[in-house]
Every structure is written in C-alpha cells, then in structure tokens.
Structure 1
Amino acid sequence: MFHEQEESVANLSKRDILLASFISGALAGIVCDVTLFPLDTLKTRLQSQHGFFQSGGFKQLYKGVGPVILGSAPSAAIFFITYEGIKQYSQPYIPDQYHSFIHMAAASSSEVTACLVRVPVEVIKQRKQALLSDTHRLGLRTLYRGYGSTVLRDLPFGVIQMPLWEYFKLYWTRQIQRECTPLEGATCGAASVAISAAITTPLDVAKTRIMLSSTSAEKEEVKISTMLKDVYRDHGAKGLFAGFIPRVTGFTIGGFIFFGVYEQAREFYISYFSK
C-alpha cells in the first residue's frame, strides 16, 4: 500500500502535489479551528487584560466563529502551499542532512505569508470572543495592528513545529521501516504542536493583549515588548503563561486533528488523481 503511495507521488507533477497540499490544508484548517473554537475562546479570555469573567467567562463560547469559518481555510491553504512549494523546489538540490534547514526556512516563509490572512481574522475573532463591542468598523491599521506580534509568535512556533513534525515522521518511518499512516503522521503532528505551543505561550499572551487593546491606543502601548513587561510587572511569570492549559491542550488535540485531516486528504487526493 505504502509503496503504491510512493509511486503515486512520483507520478504527480509538482503542480499537482502543491494543489493537493492547498486543498488538504484548507480542509484541515477549517475542521480544526471550528472543532476547537470553544477552547480557543477560553484561552483568549484567560489572557485578556479585561479579566476572564468580564470578557465572557464560560458564556457564548462560539462567539466570533464566523470570521474563523471564512478565514481558516485560506490561511491554512496558503501556509501549506508555501511550505510544500519551498520543499518541492529546494530539497532536490540540497543534501539530506541539511533538509531540516529547508523545513525551518519553509515554515518561516509560510507563517509570514499566512499571517496576511490570519491576522485580520484573529483581530476580529478575538475582539468578539472577549465581547468587546466596537461601535465603528475596524480600520485596516487596527486589523493589522497585531501583525508584528503574530509573526513574532508564529515564526518560532513554525520553526519549532514543522521540523519537529518532519523529524518525528522520519524517525518513526525508520523504526517501522515503512511510510507513516495518516494516524501516525497526526500523532507526530500533535507532539510537535504541543511542544511549540508550550514554548511560545508568553508571545501568545502579548499578541492577544495587543489585539484586545483599545482602538485608540498609542503605538508604544501596543508593542510586544511593552505588553510582556506590563504582564510580568502585574502578574509575574504566571501571567506570561496565562491560558497555558487550554492553549497546549487545544493545540495538541488540534494538531492531531489538523495533521490527521491534512495527511488523509492529501493521501486521498494523490491516490485518486495519480490514476
């Protein structure tokens, strides 16, 4: 079965493989984000400077899901088509021992690109999750105000997550001497995501607070360094890891669902269209 899959991949053009990644990423993104939205809402409210219960507590946990439904598919699709594109066109020219550097570069480029869609969606989503009532339409500057902090959070996340995912899959493939199944790939993805989410929690706290700041806040007030200092001053190290449990739990389950759906959809697409 797995030798057939390898032959199927070989029979496809790079363009077809990229299309498979695009479609699979879009499907994985929307399934994962909608399924785990309540946990994400709890995490946002725990990190909010307005307080957990003032931001909604345990009520209306699907508040803000609309923007996510619209934005998660294109964001995930852009991420994976960029990631797989860089891999496909770079790896044949680079020795195997240096492929982890390609994975890091591909992950970084993918995060920066995907954030062009992800950031405005996150801003609208998180303000709705925290029950902030904006009396007027958010301007472009406000919608992209968290871009820098999101990139600073997602770059290390991606640089840790994707090479770990590739490494775990490669390690497991060598142990069992066959290709990973979608379930095994999903397990590797969950492990890599859990580690990445735990390490980058303080950056996520700062990003959340920037996105939930007043629309009239000065530029200096919404800098990531300012937010981290304010959180540490007011709440100590514990504040920097606010929402740690729902974030890591949600991301671990989400990583399993996301990479599972991605691997399964990609395998189906490759098997079907290579005939």
Structure 2
Amino acid sequence: MAAHDPMPVEEIEFDYEALPPNTSLLANLAAGAFAGIMEHTVMYPVDAVKTRMQVVNPSPSAVYTGIANAVAQISSTEGARSLWRGVTSVALGAGPAHAVYFATYEAVKQSLGGNIGNDHHFFAVATAGACATIASDALMNPFDVIKQRMQVHGSIYKSISHCARTVYKTEGLAAFYVSYPTTLAMTVPFTATQFSAYEYLSKVLNPSRKYDPLTHCLAGGLAGAFAAGITTPLDVIKTLLQTRGTARDAEIRNCRGLLQAARIIHGRNGFTGFFRGLRPRIVTTMPSTAICWTSYEMAKFYFTGEKTPPQ
C-alpha cells in the first residue's frame, strides 16, 4: 500500500463505548476529569440545599420545608452567592478524583471482560464501579469535607484554604477521613448500582452502541436517580460525620463513626430522619449523573479519534 493511500475504514473501526486498546491513560484521565467537573459544578446550589436539609439539630433559622423554600430563604438572608460557597473545593477535587474514577473503571471492566459482545456483564461492571469508587473517594473525601463545612448555615470559613487549615488544626488529619468508611459504604453500592443500571439502560435504549447524547443523558439520569434514592440513608449519615465539627451539640461533635451517627439520627428523628434531603438529593443526582455520563461519552468519542481517517 502506498504511503499516501488512506487505510481502509474497516481496518480502524471500533466500538467507541470501549476505548480502543491503544488509547492512552491520559485520554482516560482527561475524559474522567472533564465529566467529574461538569457533574459537580452545574448542580452545586441544589447540593448545598441537600446538605442543609440533612444537618441534624439545625438552628431555627436553618430549617427548610423544601427546595424552593430553601433557595429563597438562603438567597434572601445570606445572598445568592452563599449557595455556591465551597464550589472551588469540589472543582479542585472532582477533576483528579473522577480522572482516577473513570480510568479505574475502564481498566477493571476491560480486564474482567466487560467489553465483550453486547451482553450485560453485571459482575464486571459492578466490580469495576466498586473499584473505581474506592480509588476516587480516597482523593475526594477531604475536598468533600471542606465543601460541606462551607455549605452549612453560619459557616465561619472564609475560603477553602482557611477551612482546611482550621479543620486540620482543631480536629487533626482524621477529620478529613472520619466519614471515609461511611462514604464507601454508600458510594460502593451507589456506583455499582448506577454503573450497572447505566450499562443496561444504554444497551436497551441504544442497541447499536453508537454515540448518541440523548440516550446517554437519559440512561445516566435514570441510573443516577435510582442509585441516589436507595443510598440516601447513608448520605445522611455521611453528612452528619462530615459536618460534626460545626455542630453545637456535644453528642454530634463527638460522633466517631457510622453506627454512632445512625443511632443519633434514629434517636432524634426516627426512621424518617434517614431520608432527610431525599428530594434535593435526587434532583441533584439525576441531572448531575446525566451531565456526567453525557460529558464522559462525548469525551470518549472525541478521544477515540475520527471514524474516517483524513485523506
């Protein structure tokens, strides 16, 4: 074949759903980072409302009856900018955390045969999602602690660096990871459920496995909403552990782990306490995961290169 002759298209075609073997680690990382930043920043104000509604024993001025009420109350008393407090922490953490997240997911899924054929490989996808979560949460947890400390009503922190220094000085390094076991207890089943639901819905809605933003968006949103709903109790526990340093209640401030936090929540609010913030969590997660998967699939499509080589 002459040097100027184009390579036949059939020799280079591949299913974009699985990045080709020669795709660099950098491409996986870049796709994941892009998806993570988009996911966490777009719906940040609703996430701030969710955090406020999940706080146990809030001050009377921080009791909200719904998303619209919370947004209006916070905006009128603290200013609309307060809904974005801590967003920088998420942006800084989400990039590297999601880069590791998706790179791990793709590598594990590929090694377990999750990209073979059009069948739904539940074990491979769920395992890959769980592994991805364990790796990414180790990076993201400190940033999440800072974010939630800045989101709560009456936060005293002026910036993410001020928050990080203050928490480290007054509570030590452990404060950034006290919620890590609970985070994993929530995010491992959340991710396994979300990834499995997404892969299944993607194959049902898009049997041809072609790049289709609409089906990626729909599958991602539905998968995220389902996973968010069933893991909300653990998210409430995580919020208590991550914001304990801002509480005036001695029992909450001295809470040391998942079981103790669960007892506090149940003792004060009963079983309904584990579903505080359910609606804003779903409202946040559904579009966030839709944005995340659509962004990731777009980035994957871009990094696989053109389907037809240049002449």
Does the Cα contact within 8 Å between 1:5 and 1:271 map onto a contact in 2? Answer: no
Amino acid at match of 1:122: D
Q: How far, CA to CA, are the matches of 2:11 and 2:286 in structure 1?
A: 31
In the alignment, the residues of structure 1 paired with residue 125 and residue 17 of structure 2 have an alpha-carbon distance, to the nearest angstrom, of: 20
Structure 1 residues 109, 210: closer, same or farther in 2, change over 3 A? same
| Matching residue of 1:112 | 134
Between stretches 32-41 and 17-26, larger displacement belongs to 17-26
1:185/1:263 contact within 8 Å kept: yes
Structure 1 stretch displaced more, 26-35 or 3-12? 3-12
Is contact 1:201-1:244 (8 Å) kept?
Answer: yes
Do residues 25 (structure 1) and 59 (structure 2) align?
no
Instruction: Pick closer, same or farther for the CA change 1:50–1:14 going to 2, 3 Å.
Output: farther
Amino acid at match of 1:49: V
Give 1 or 2 for the bigger CA radius of gyration: 2
Structure 1 unaligned regions, length at least 5: none
1:86 is matched with: 108
In the other structure, the counterpart of 1:194 is 225
Is 2:257 aligned against 1:223? yes
Distance in 2 (alpha carbons) for counterparts of 1:97 and 1:119: 34
Change (3 A) 1:212 1:10: closer
1:186 and 1:18, CA in 2 relative to 1: closer, same or farther beyond 3 A? farther
Match of 1:147 among 180, 183, 186: 180
Q: Comparing both structures, which one devotes a greater share of its residues to helix?
A: 1
For the residue of structure 2 that corresponds to 1:179, the secondary structure is: coil
Can you give the 5+ residue segments of structure 2 that lack an aligned partner in the other structure?
Answer: 1-9, 64-69, 157-162
Q: Please report the RMSD computed on the Cα atoms of aligned residues, expressed in angstroms.
A: 3.1
Instruction: Tell me by how many angstroms 1:183 deviates.
Output: 2.1
1:232 and 2:266 aligned: yes
Aligned runs of 1:40-189 on 2, under 5 Å? 40-51=47-58, 53-54=61-62, 58=74, 59=78, 60-91=82-113, 99-130=121-152, 131-133=154-156, 136-138=166-168, 139-174=172-207, 177=208, 179-189=210-220
SS in 1 for 2:112: helix
1:14 paired residue among 13, 21, 29: 21
Q: Is the contact between residue 36 and residue 250 of structure 1 (CA under 8 Å) also seen in structure 2?
A: yes
Inter-CA distance 221–68: structure 2 relative to 1 (3 Å threshold): same
Match of 2:270, SS state, is helix
In 2, are the aligned partners of 1:47 and 1:208 still within 8 Å (CA)?
yes
Count of residues in Structure 1 that have an aligned counterpart in Structure 2: 271
| AA of the residue aligned to 1:262 | Y
- Aligned-residue offset at 1:49: 2.1
SS in structure 2 at match of 1:84: helix
Deviation at 1:259, TM superposition (A): 0.9
Identity level (%): 29
Q: Which residue of 1 aligns with 2:280?
A: 246
Please tell me the residue identity of whatever aligns with 1:167.
Y
Aligned match of 1:259 = 293
Offset of residue 96 of structure 1: 7.2
Does the CA-based 8 Å contact 1:220-1:226 persist in structure 2?
A: no
Change (3 A) 1:238 1:5: farther
Distance 1:46 1:9, change over 3 A: closer
Give the secondary-structure state (helix, strand or coil) at the position aligned to 2:113.
Answer: helix
Secondary structure of residue in 1 paired with 2:138: helix
